[in-house]
Structure 1
Amino acid sequence: MPKLTCDISQSLWDALQKAMDDSGEGIDHLVSRALADALQLDHGTLFQVSTAGALVEGLFGGVVSVGMLREHGDFGLGTFDGLDGEMIALDGHFFQIRSDGSIRRADDGQQVPFAVVTHFSPRETMVLEPFGSMAELTAQLDRKRGTDNLFFAVRLSGRFSSLHDRVASMAGAHETLVEATAHQAEFHMQDVDGTIVGFWTPSYVRGIGIPGWHLHVISDDRQRGGHVLDCAGQGITLALEPLDDFRLAMPETADFLAADLSGDTEKALDTAERGRGR
């Protein structure tokens, strides 16, 4: 990352020292946040549409447009109206990965029931050690986090020796998330050059977010992709950004306002998102 060196007044230095003592934050974080505020830039902000609990209950109707999402991020993931495939946003381009395996650029007018996006600005970049499974990958990612209590955005780029992913199919009437993903399409691929986009969500927002790692992938030739269930690779480059500002856009639809979202989402999300418990 670029480094900034400059002279400041003693009064600014004293104020900065006091802010560090009061907040416990490091100088890099405080200065970066102050500059972002002054320049009216988003900094470490994660923007989410709707909740994981709403998805679990089958609230798949679109509530915002892709065009609106662009205003809040250039990097992220989600799904489309009716659970019609997987979304991946990369370098400002939004893609729809459909259950027949096809991939298309998403139109700004397309509706979205759930998405998580950010303006990606990684704090560090490194090459990961070889990994032979999703468990080995996430173990490495967990060691890079340093805390369980912030959100994190990750970008993983390179050649994946194997990928197992799924793509949600259009949901039937009144289906829950578990029911809808029971007839999802699954794909196994070998030696794929691509990029994984994903987020770590802390457990304390269970029911709002999807706790743990949530990863989507797209190949460099834009021919293959989906929600990652398993993967292996070596020489994969990781770019990592901690996110300390979480913003949630709540739907105002009649279905959302009337839904009972008080249930425990853990088992349903584990089955639907990670392919467990089927």
Structure 2
Amino acid sequence: MKLKRYLWITILTITVLLGIILPGRTQEYTSSNTLFQTSTISAFSIGIYEGNTSFKELKKSGNFGLGTVNYLDEEMIGLDGKFYQVKSDGVASVIPDSMTSPFATVTFFKPQTLINLEGQINYKQLQESLDQRLPSKNYPYAIRIKGNFPYLKFRSVPKQTPPYRPLVDVVKEQSIFFELRNVNGTLVGFRTPEYMQGVNVNGYHFHFITANRTTGGHILDGQFKNAKVELDSLSNVEINLPKTAEFSKADLADSKPAEVNRVKR
């Protein structure tokens, strides 16, 4: 009886200690190889531009990423733990923690692979070259490219108001384009496998921000010279679906993810 009592006391003590010691969800204890996203590209594509995930919450799941803010209010870039919003005038600013996002993809970036691409190549060649060198095409990858870029073309869109139109229509009719030459900065991006179509933008998706954090946007084209590409392979995927009436009632079968991929890539 004394032995049984001792065992129960020991188990209880260990349980209490674990409850005290084990932390909540913080950067230190969040898996570094997890792709976390809020909502899905299917929901976003049909005009669900309001979410309830704050940037304070996003920071618990990543210090690196891309997406947008509520009302499709331009492009979002996450880099080194800070999140930036690039508005339709091309000006970048830090996003307050209280602001929310309808669609975002983030991770705690820890590069595992470095790929050197010698010479000058365009955006299509960049993607083709990376595809040839990926360890596997079956995992998502977070991708960072830092340096000086001979030429970049990128896009933003203006803030939307209800009733919201599908993303494809907004991009086709309201896109605002920017071009920069010989610019220093960072490409923040992801490559997701084709089987994730409808969940995220399959293939490559990049946003850009300048070294001085003053401008950027969604990359459409560019020239890359002697690019040094850092890859972080991600084996876990976590999705936080919006807790909104719009998402609950949406017919996501009509989202046409293949068409969205064409405008987002």
TM over 0.5: yes
The answer as to 2:189 corresponding to 1:198 is yes
Residue in 2 that maps onto 1:59? 48
Query: Does the Cα contact within 8 Å between 1:206 and 1:265 map onto a contact in 2?
Result: no
Residue in 1 that maps onto 2:254? 263
1: distance between equivalents of 2:157 and 2:236?
29
- Give the 3-state SS of the residue equivalent to 1:252 in structure 2: coil
The count of aligned residue pairs is: 236
Query: Does the Cα contact within 8 Å between 2:45 and 2:255 map onto a contact in 1?
Result: no
Residue in 2 that maps onto 1:18? none
1: distance between equivalents of 2:30 and 2:251?
37
Deviation of 1:178 after TM superposition, in Å, equals 1.0
- Give the 3-state SS of the residue equivalent to 1:171 in structure 2: coil
Deviation of 1:140 after TM superposition, in Å, equals 1.6
Q: Which of 192, 201, 208 is the aligned partner of 1:217?
A: 208
The answer as to 2:154 corresponding to 1:179 is no
2: distance between equivalents of 1:74 and 1:236?
22
Report the aligned-residue RMSD: 1.4
Q: Which of 216, 226, 230 is the aligned partner of 2:217?
A: 226
The answer as to 2:92 corresponding to 1:93 is no
| 1:93-114 deviations in Å (ceiling 9; x for gaps) | 1100111111100100011000
1: distance between equivalents of 2:193 and 2:255?
16
1: distance between equivalents of 2:168 and 2:101?
19
Read off the aligned partner of 1:111 and give its amino acid letter: T
Deviation of 1:62 after TM superposition, in Å, equals 2.7
Residue in 1 that maps onto 2:123? 134
1: distance between equivalents of 2:58 and 2:263?
24
Percent identity between the two aligned chains: 35
Give runs of aligned pairs for residues 1-278 of structure 1, distance below 5 A.
40-173=29-162, 174-182=164-172, 183-263=174-254, 265-274=256-265
2: distance between equivalents of 1:185 and 1:127?
32
| 1:219-250 deviations in Å (ceiling 9; x for gaps) | 10212210100111212221111100000111
Read off the aligned partner of 2:243 and give its amino acid letter: E
**Which ranges of 4 or more aligned residues in structure 1 deviate by more than 3 Å?**
none
Query: Does the Cα contact within 8 Å between 1:199 and 1:215 map onto a contact in 2?
Result: yes
- Bigger CA radius of gyration: 2
TM normalised by structure 2 equals 0.85
Query: Does the Cα contact within 8 Å between 2:49 and 2:102 map onto a contact in 1?
Result: yes
Hey, which of these two has a bigger chunk of strand by percent?
A: 2
Query: Does the Cα contact within 8 Å between 1:165 and 1:229 map onto a contact in 2?
Result: yes
User: Can you give the 5+ residue segments of structure 2 that lack an aligned partner in the other structure?
Assistant: 1-27
Query: Does the Cα contact within 8 Å between 1:56 and 1:268 map onto a contact in 2?
Result: no
Read off the aligned partner of 2:178 and give its amino acid letter: F
Read off the aligned partner of 1:116 and give its amino acid letter: T
Read off the aligned partner of 1:54 and give its amino acid letter: A
Read off the aligned partner of 1:165 and give its amino acid letter: F
Read off the aligned partner of 1:69 and give its amino acid letter: L
Deviation of 1:129 after TM superposition, in Å, equals 1.9
2: distance between equivalents of 1:270 and 1:229?
12
Query: Does the Cα contact within 8 Å between 2:139 and 2:234 map onto a contact in 1?
Result: yes
